[in-house]
Chains A and B, each alone.
Chain A
Amino acid sequence: MTLAEGAFGRLATRRSVSERAGTAPEKEGGAPAASKSRATPGVEGLSLAFRAVGKSFGDRQVLKEIDLEIPAGQFVAIVGRSGGGKTTLMRLITGLDAPTSGEVVIDGKPTSGLQKSVRLLFQDARLLPWETVIGNVGISRETGWREDAADALADVGLSGREKDWPTVLSGGQRQRVSLARALVSRPGILLLDEPFGALDALTRAEMHQLTERIWQEHGFTTLLITHDVAEAATLADRVLVLRDGHIALDLEIDLPRPRRSYDPAVASVGARILREV
Chain B
Amino acid sequence: MNIHADRKTIEKGATATVSRPSGTAPSSTAKRRGPTFGWRLGAALAPWALPLLLLAIWEAGCRAGFIPARVLPAPSDVAIAFWATAKTGALFHHAAISTERALAGLLVGGSIGFFLGVLNGLSKSAETLLDSLLQMIRNVPHLAIIPLVILWFGIGEEAKLFLVAIGVFFPIYLNTFHGIRTVDKGLIEMARVYGLSQFALFRRVILPGALPSVLVGLRYALGIMWLTLIVAETIASSEGIGYMTMNAREFLQTDVVLLGIIIYAVLGKLADSLTRALEQRALAWHPSYQKVIA
By a beta-carbon cutoff of 8 Å, the part of chain A in contact with chain B is 30, 34, 37, 94, 96, 114, 116, 119-120, 122, 124, 126, 128-131, 139-141, 165, 167, 181, 185
Q: A140-B195, A165-B290 are in contact. Are A130 and B285 (CB under 8 A)?
A: yes
Complex Cα–Cα for A37 and B286 (A):
33
Partner of A96, one of B192, B195, B286: B192
Select the residue from A116, A130, A131 with max chain B CB neighbours within 10 A: A130
- B152 close to chain A: CB less than 8 A: no
Complex Cα–Cα for A167 and B186 (A):
16
Task: Contact check, A167 vs B287: say whether CB atoms are below 8 A apart.
Answer: yes
Select the residue from B186, B190, B193 with max chain A CB neighbours within 10 A: B193
Q: Which residue of B lies closest to A135 (CB)?
A: B204
Task: Contact check, A122 vs B190: say whether CB atoms are below 8 A apart.
Answer: yes
- B119 close to chain A: CB less than 8 A: no
Task: Contact check, B194 vs A131: say whether CB atoms are below 8 A apart.
Answer: no
Contacts of B55 in A (CB 8 A): none
- B100 close to chain A: CB less than 8 A: no
Minimal beta-carbon separation of B292 from chain A (angstroms) = 11
Contacts of B193 in A (CB 8 A): 94, 96, 114, 119-120
- B6 close to chain A: CB less than 8 A: no
Minimal beta-carbon separation of B194 from chain A (angstroms) = 5
Partner of B285, one of A30, A119, A120, A131: A131
- B196 close to chain A: CB less than 8 A: yes
Q: A122-B186, A128-B187 are in contact. Are A167 and B192 (CB under 8 A)?
A: no
Task: Contact check, A114 vs B195: say whether CB atoms are below 8 A apart.
Answer: yes
- B157 close to chain A: CB less than 8 A: no
Task: Contact check, A116 vs B190: say whether CB atoms are below 8 A apart.
Answer: no
Inter-chain residue pair count (beta carbon < 8 A): 53
Minimal beta-carbon separation of A272 from chain B (angstroms) = 33
Task: Contact check, B196 vs A140: say whether CB atoms are below 8 A apart.
Answer: yes
Q: A30-B197, A128-B204, A128-B208 are in contact. Are A165 and B192 (CB under 8 A)?
A: no
Contacts of A167 in B (CB 8 A): 285-287, 290
Q: Which of B153-203 contact A (CB under 8 A)?
A: 184, 186-187, 189-197, 200
Task: Contact check, A139 vs B194: say whether CB atoms are below 8 A apart.
Answer: yes
Contacts of A130 in B (CB 8 A): 208-209, 211, 285-286
Task: Contact check, A128 vs B205: say whether CB atoms are below 8 A apart.
Answer: yes
Q: A140-B195, A141-B200 are in contact. Are A129 and B190 (CB under 8 A)?
A: no
Complex Cα–Cα for A141 and B201 (A):
12
Task: Contact check, A126 vs B186: say whether CB atoms are below 8 A apart.
Answer: yes
Task: Contact check, B287 vs A131: say whether CB atoms are below 8 A apart.
Answer: no
Minimal beta-carbon separation of B83 from chain A (angstroms) = 47
Minimal beta-carbon separation of A154 from chain B (angstroms) = 20
Q: A167-B285, A167-B287 are in contact. Are A126 and B195 (CB under 8 A)?
A: no
Q: Which of B103-139 contact A (CB under 8 A)?
A: none
Select the residue from A116, A126, A131 with max chain B CB neighbours within 10 A: A126
Task: Contact check, B192 vs A129: say whether CB atoms are below 8 A apart.
Answer: no
Complex Cα–Cα for A161 and B209 (A):
23
Interface size on B, residues (CB 8 A): 23
Contacts of B196 in A (CB 8 A): 139-140
Minimal beta-carbon separation of B155 from chain A (angstroms) = 45
Contacts of B200 in A (CB 8 A): 141
Partner of A131, one of B197, B204, B211, B290: B204
Task: Contact check, A181 vs B194: say whether CB atoms are below 8 A apart.
Answer: yes
Interface string of B208-234 (1 = CB under 8 A from A): 110100000000000000000000000
Q: Which of B229-288 contact A (CB under 8 A)?
A: 284-287
Q: Which residue of B lies closest to A124 (CB)?
A: B186
Contacts of B205 in A (CB 8 A): 128
Contacts of B290 in A (CB 8 A): 165, 167
Complex Cα–Cα for A139 and B196 (A):
8
Minimal beta-carbon separation of A118 from chain B (angstroms) = 8
Contacts of A120 in B (CB 8 A): 190, 193
Contacts of A141 in B (CB 8 A): 200
Contacts of B287 in A (CB 8 A): 167
Task: Contact check, B191 vs A96: say whether CB atoms are below 8 A apart.
Answer: no
Contacts of B191 in A (CB 8 A): 139
Taking A94-B193, A130-B285 as given, write out 9 further A-B residue pairs in contact, using a Cβ cutoff of 8 Å, ordered by the A residue number: A30-B197, A96-B193, A114-B193, A122-B186, A122-B190, A124-B186, A128-B205, A130-B211, A167-B287
Contacts of B189 in A (CB 8 A): 96, 126
Complex Cα–Cα for A57 and B211 (A):
35
Minimal beta-carbon separation of A39 from chain B (angstroms) = 15
Complex Cα–Cα for A271 and B286 (A):
45
Complex Cα–Cα for A116 and B193 (A):
8
Task: Contact check, B285 vs A129: say whether CB atoms are below 8 A apart.
Answer: yes
14 of the cross-chain contacts (CB-CB < 8 Å) are A30-B197, A96-B192, A116-B195, A119-B194, A124-B186, A126-B184, A128-B187, A129-B285, A129-B286, A130-B211, A130-B286, A140-B194, A167-B286, A167-B290
Q: A126-B187, A128-B205 are in contact. Are A114 and B192 (CB under 8 A)?
A: yes
Q: Which residue of A lies closest to B212 (CB)?
A: A130
Complex Cα–Cα for A129 and B285 (A):
6
Complex Cα–Cα for A139 and B209 (A):
15
